Structure 1
């Protein structure tokens, strides 16, 4: 078995990999992909101290580069692979090469090492036109009932006087919400009552993008519409 990371090839049967996956969870709990993690262990071998130190340097240099392909082959057959371009934000070396063992012949002609590489993979390809929605919420706020409007009029002495000002009053609804798209901004919800909307109050805000491994991944958008009407709004 030969493991390669980018242009670096581990010698045959030098490295071993434990591959695990954990779900990528969206805001409402559904799993839209997974994080694949490769825990790599192995040992470097060399005939001299100088050659062993050179092997350290080559290993560390190879895994200091992010976004490389991981391929584990049996002869000419690829048994496992983690291709950077097929992931959400590229492969990343989360645990750099280190040397967890001591004694038992370490630093004679060999040195044991360990490192971890992982990447996020989505079940669906990124769609920039209609992106997958990772988080969504919307609320409706109703102000007023349409009933009479009154005011409290000041007097020279004593309490203010309550006086009905109008027989009816307007009802105001504010529709506000947000959605987070994967790889692109999603389309805001349409206004519920377009014929009663105060267009001058409409707000569409694109929030700060959330980055993964240096790439823009999550795109939040917020909307706010205000409607006003003399009677109760239709509910159907």
Structure 2
């Protein structure tokens, strides 16, 4: 009997060791297949789950561009002719004609720079605009960029410096509810004029030696009253410190 156990035990031990050998895994031979959301895409960091691929981003950008173009084309169809009439009146300093386009209830606000200051920017009624050609009084229109000194000018002086300082009738670019000129000053025009169409006449630069630092924009703000779009704001913008 003892001989039987002596013979059997080594056999059992061999079987057990063989079984353990079969279940032992070599970690170097294992290949891990990443989940689809963990796979690295070209141009993306590996392991960023949920991130968009380049093609998806491109599609979204294209859709955004198309939407912007469609919206701008629609705005242009509504306001282009009206805006050109107002711009021509400004260029010719035809204040009687300009007065006819001024918003009957709100008047027209003049902003010397891109930031619209609803507390300090001056507002004139249509009747006042019609008489401005002969007005010699000096007004404070805000503060000069850089120095902070008050802008004390007559209407005519302000008009030459902060309205029609370049030939905007020949502007290189025109945008409809689209910002073209962007500088250091905050542009809050769409926050102030929430239901408006803003037409921007823009020069990316005047003198090549300044490499665009002398860009100019004139934005005409139109708000609707009844069935008519009226001029509610004239915003001058340029490169600022």
The normalised TM-score by structure 2 is: 0.18
Higher fraction of helix: 2
Which structure is larger by alpha-carbon Rg, 1 or 2?
2
